[in-house]
Structures are given as structure tokens and as C-alpha cells.
């Protein structure tokens, strides 16, 4: 038996906690800080994900056998290196490996050097030079603050005015602080966007089935960019030959180029891709599980997730089979009214039990809290997940359950996964 500390408190963490709970080898499960849902499968610990010292002290005191961190900020700030320097066992990539996500300038230059297909780009630290580049290239064009910006540092600009306003927001208004010190400006890529996940122990890797998140707030990919409003997996339009091409041109060369630089990547590498007319291209790298992608992966995963994480940490992933259910999973995000802009917190939530009575439904909590009553506590509140023999069945079941859940301002997309039926 092994006691586990899971760092984070989003829908992704509830999904991992839910899956860990099914492991026959799990002892105690602690989640720091957790949310209103993780308290149902483990014990929430009131320590923030960036409080490395407190987390490490807790892991020592409680004799935690494995800590798992799959949140971008702590990984980029080096939580794995910190734990390892204290002799504590932790799952996740090192600070050096997480740079792939932490700095878009680093990752673009990395891809350029390694010959990995990505949008044409320039990196700038000066406002005037960035403006000149944008004016020379014309719209549509994409402006990105280099550092982490909670998914808000990217502007897909369809006009010159938008591009100029995006640069002004970064360089003059300094809306993204240090994250905007470097700016990546890149070619607009057209095509379906998909998520790839490959888990690695530094020596070998295994790819998950491909998934598709829906990043915009509103139906038909309108409205602002969000953390992700819904996800499906696997993807009927990604066949074996496309999967092979993604592995050959993106996944394998990424791990090889990291190795060449002396960087061992242990954890999940999650490249976001656009399937462009000229083939799959990398939009960005993440050095962690996606959210809400994890919610569908944990529903489809047959293998014990604790076994997989331990194999990663121990460097024995080559001997660890990873098996998936046949069929499909869908996850619909229920967000607070107004998200990704201003929204209310502390709104009572009802109907989850009713929703979970429907066969195939599990509701994962993201921004929730429990103070005797379950209440909203964030932008993305819940993920309603379903599995089905077909994608349509999974989606229909998920949407049936969505209707059972109520909270004031409930906002969700009604078109998750529907684009597939038009391809």
C-alpha cells in the first residue's frame, strides 16, 4: 500500500483522484488543496500548489510514498526538483523539461532547431520591432505572451487593429507582467485542433488516444479563449496513418531532441496540434496532463493509474502495459456565467446525484467548494463525463446529465464533439 499526495484542485485532479481511488494498492490519498469533489475520494489538505516547502514537509511527516503534480505553474517553477532535492519521490517533469510549456519562446526555438513542424514565427522583446513584423506579415496573425498567462496570453488576430491592440496590451499596458517580456508572433494555422498526450519515463514513451478539447467559450468556436469547455476521445478522424505521422514527426523527435540536450522528460508531454493542410503542426507544448482532457482519459483508462505513475518514476514504463476501454468518452464543462471574464463565486449547486444516477455518468468537480453546502468556486465548475459505445452515445448521455445539474448562471457549450459528424 502506498500513500499518495496529489497537488492541485481542478477537474483534472478530481479525475486523477477518482481513478487513483480504484487502485488496490492505494493507501491514503491527500489532495492539496483539492476541491468540493476531491473530498469525496480523499482528504483535502489546505496547502496551495505553490507552497513547495509546506507540501514537502507534509509529504515527509505523512510518509507519502508518491507525490503527483500535473499543474503547469508548480512544474514550471520546479516543484519536482525541489521534492527530489529533499529526497522525496514525485511524479512529473523537472523544471528544465517543463520549460517546453513555461516559455513559448524556448519551445518555438526548440522546435525550429529540432525540425519539428510548427507555425512560422518571430520572437520579440521590443514593441517597435514586433509592430514592424506584424505589419509586414499582415492578418490573420497570432500574438502570444511567452510566459504562462492562464491561457489568456494568446490573441488570434483577424485584423491589423486587433494585432496592434494585442501588442499594446502586452508591451504598453503590460497586462501579462513578466510573462509578456518576450512575445511570440506566429502564422495563423487553419484546421482542426487536437490534443496529443504521451507519457514518458525519460527512456521510453506511450501515446494516449488522441482527444479534442474545445477552447472557445461559445458554440461554433466563438467567444473568448478559455481553459477548455469540453472534450472527446478518441477521435474517429485520426486514423492509424495520421497517428503514425504525428508520432514520427512530432512526438518521437521531441523526446529525442530533449535527450540530446541532456533533458530527461518524465511525465506527460501534451502537444496541442493543428491538423493543417500541410500536415500536423505543433501549436504549443504542455508538460502535464490536459484539463479537461484528463477527465476523458481517466474514464477510458483500464490500467491502474498508480501503476503507470510509479513505472514513470522508476523508469520501468517499457514493462508497463497501458490499456484503454473500447468505445468513447465525452466531458462537458459547466462554467460560471460570465467565464472567462468576471463571474460570481459561492453559488449553490444542485442535481449532481441525479446526474450520476444516469448510467455511464461521472461528474468531476473543478471550481467547487464545500462548506456544508456545495458551491461554485471558480470559472470552470464541473465536468460532466460519460462513456459510450459510440461517440454519439457518450455525448447524448453527457448532455442528458448536464440538464440535471443546476446552478445560477450555468454556462456550457451545446456543440461539443458535433463538428466530427460534419467531417
What is the contact surface with ligand GLY in residues (CB under 6 A)?
213, 227-228, 286, 290-291, 293
Q: How many CB atoms lie within 10 A of CB 356?
A: 16
Instruction: Identify any residues that bridge with 123 across adjacent strands, giving them in sequence order.
Output: 184
Q: In the complex, what is the shortest distance from the CB of residue 352 to ligand GLY, in angstroms, rounded to a whole number?
A: 23
Q: In the complex, what is the shortest distance from the CB of residue 193 to ligand AMP, in angstroms, rounded to a whole number?
A: 5
Q: Could you say which of ligand GLY, ligand AMP, none residue 193 binds, taking C-beta under 5 to 8 angstroms by partner kind?
A: ligand AMP
Q: Does 253 bind ligand AMP (CB under 6 A)?
A: no
Q: Cα–Cα distance between 230 and 386 in angstroms, integer?
A: 12
Q: Cα–Cα distance between 35 and 37 in angstroms, integer?
A: 5
Q: Does 283 bind ligand AMP (CB under 6 A)?
A: yes
Q: Which of 51, 73, 164, 193 binds ligand AMP (CB under 6 A)?
A: 193
Q: Cα–Cα distance between 310 and 275 in angstroms, integer?
A: 33
- Pairing type for strands 380-388 and 266-276 reads unpaired
Q: Could you say which of ligand AMP, ligand GLY, none residue 291 binds, taking C-beta under 5 to 8 angstroms by partner kind?
A: ligand GLY
The candidate with the shortest Cα–Cα distance to 270, out of 196, 342, 178, 175, is 196
Q: Which of 79, 134, 143, 154 binds ligand AMP (CB under 6 A)?
A: 154
Q: In the complex, what is the shortest distance from the CB of residue 151 to ligand GLY, in angstroms, rounded to a whole number?
A: 6
Site for ligand AMP in 303-362 (CB under 6 A): none
Whether residue 33 is preceded by a cis peptide bond, meaning omega within 30 degrees of 0, is yes
Question: What mask, x for binding ligand AMP by CB under 6 A, covers residues 98 to 127?
Answer: ---------------------x--------
Q: In the complex, what is the shortest distance from the CB of residue 423 to ligand AMP, in angstroms, rounded to a whole number?
A: 17
Stretch in the footprint of ligand AMP (CB under 6 A) among 127-135, 151-159, 161-169, 259-267: 151-159
Q: Does 163 bind ligand AMP (CB under 6 A)?
A: no
DSSP string, 1-13: -EEEEEEE-SHHH
Q: Could you say which of ligand AMP, ligand GLY, none residue 119 binds, taking C-beta under 5 to 8 angstroms by partner kind?
A: ligand AMP
Q: Does 284 bind ligand AMP (CB under 6 A)?
A: yes
Q: Could you say which of ligand GLY, ligand AMP, none residue 283 binds, taking C-beta under 5 to 8 angstroms by partner kind?
A: ligand AMP
The candidate with the shortest Cα–Cα distance to 267, out of 22, 3, 23, 84, is 84
* CB closer to ligand AMP, 187 vs 415: 187
* CB closer to ligand GLY, 59 vs 76: 76
Give the CA-trace dihedral at 71, 72, 74, 77, to 10 degrees: 160
CB 11 within 8 A of CB 299: no
Q: In the complex, what is the shortest distance from the CB of residue 153 to ligand GLY, in angstroms, rounded to a whole number?
A: 12
Give the CA-trace dihedral at 361, 365, 366, 371, to 10 degrees: 160
Q: Cα–Cα distance between 288 and 10 in angstroms, integer?
A: 13
Q: Which of 56, 76, 148, 189 binds ligand AMP (CB under 6 A)?
A: 189
Q: Give the sign of the dihedral formed by CA 55, CA 59, CA 64, CA 66.
A: positive
Kindly give, in sequence order, each residue whose CB lies less than 8 Å from that of residue 219, ignoring residues fewer than 6 positions away: 413, 414, 415
Q: Does 29 bind ligand AMP (CB under 6 A)?
A: no
Q: Cα–Cα distance between 220 and 140 in angstroms, integer?
A: 19
Q: Could you say which of ligand GLY, ligand AMP, none residue 269 binds, taking C-beta under 5 to 8 angstroms by partner kind?
A: none
Q: Give the sign of the dihedral formed by CA 209, CA 199, CA 293, CA 212.
A: negative
Q: In the complex, what is the shortest distance from the CB of residue 213 to ligand GLY, in angstroms, rounded to a whole number?
A: 4
* CB closer to ligand AMP, 30 vs 289: 289
Q: Cα–Cα distance between 238 and 240 in angstroms, integer?
A: 7
Q: Which residues bind ligand AMP (CB under 6 A)?
A: 119, 142, 144, 151, 154, 156, 186-189, 193, 215, 225, 272, 283-284
Amino acid at each position: 500500500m502506498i500513500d499518495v499526495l496529489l497537488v492541485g484542485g481542478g477537474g483534472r485532479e478530481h479525475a486523477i483522484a477518482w481513478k487513483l481511488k480504484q487502485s488496490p494498492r492505494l493507501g491514503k490519498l491527500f489532495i492539496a488543496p483539492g476541491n468540493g469533489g476531491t473530498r469525496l475520494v480523499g482528504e483535502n489538505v489546505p496547502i496551495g500548489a505553490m507552497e513547495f516547502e509546506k507540501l514537502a514537509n507534509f509529504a515527509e511527516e505523512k510518509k507519502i510514498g508518491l507525490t503527483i503534480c500535473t499543474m503547469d505553474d508548480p512544474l514550471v517553477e520546479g516543484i519536482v526538483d525541489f521534492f527530489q532535492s529533499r529526497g522525496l519521490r514525485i511524479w512529473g517533469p523537472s523544471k528544465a523539461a517543463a520549460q517546453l510549456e513555461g516559455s513559448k519562446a524556448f519551445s518555438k526555438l526548440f522546435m525550429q532547431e529540432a525540425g519539428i513542424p510548427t507555425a512560422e514565427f518571430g520572437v520579440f522583446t521590443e514593441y517597435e520591432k514586433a509592430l514592424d513584423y506584424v505589419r509586414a506579415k499582415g492578418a490573420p496573425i497570432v500574438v502570444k505572451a511567452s510566459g504562462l498567462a492562464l491561457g489568456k496570453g494568446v490573441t488570434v488576430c483577424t485584423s491589423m487593429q486587433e494585432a496592434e491592440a494585442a501588442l499594446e496590451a502586452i508591451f504598453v499596458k503590460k497586462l501579462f507582467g513578466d510573462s509578456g517580456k518576450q512575445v511570440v508572433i506566429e502564422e495563423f494555422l487553419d484546421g482542426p485542433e487536437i490534443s496529443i498526450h504521451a507519457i514518458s519515463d525519460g527512456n521510453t514513451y506511450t501515446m494516449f488516444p488522441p482527444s479534442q478539447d474545445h477552447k472557445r467559450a461559445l458554440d461554433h468556436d466563438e467567444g473568448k479563449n478559455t481553459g477548455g469547455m469540453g472534450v472527446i476521445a478518441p477521435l474517429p478522424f485520426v486514423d492509424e496513418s495520421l497517428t503514425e505521422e504525428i508520432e514520427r514527426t512530432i512526438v518521437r523527435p521531441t523526446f529525442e531532441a530533449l535527450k540530446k540536450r541532456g533533458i530527461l522528460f518524465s511525465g506527460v508531454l501534451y502537444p496541442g496540434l493543428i491538423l493543417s493542410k500541410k500536415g500536423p503542426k505543433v501549436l504549443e507544448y504542455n508538460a502535464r496532463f490536459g484539463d479537461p482532457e484528463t477527465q476523458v482519459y481517466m474514464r477510458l483508462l483500464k490500467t491502474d493509474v498508480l501503476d503507470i505513475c510509479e513505472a514513470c518514476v522508476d523508469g520501468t514504463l517499457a514493462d508497463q502495459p497501458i490499456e484503454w476501454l473500447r468505445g468513447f468518452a465525452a466531458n462537458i464543462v459547466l462554467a460560471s456565467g460570465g467565464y472567462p471574464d468576471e463571474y460570481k463565486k459561492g453559488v449553490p449547486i444542485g442535481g449532481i446525484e441525479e446526474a450520476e444516477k444516469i448510467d455511464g455518468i461521472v461528474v468531476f468537480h473543478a471550481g467547487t467548494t464545500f462548506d456544508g453546502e456545495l458551491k461554485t468556486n471558480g470559472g470552470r465548475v464541473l465536468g460532466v463525463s460519460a462513456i459510450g459505445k459510440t461517440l454519439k452515445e457518450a455525448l447524448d448521455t453527457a448532455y442528458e446529465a448536464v440538464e440535471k445539474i443546476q446552478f445560477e448562471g450555468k454556462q456550457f457549450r451545446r456543440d461539443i464533439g458535433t463538428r466530427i459528424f460534419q467531417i
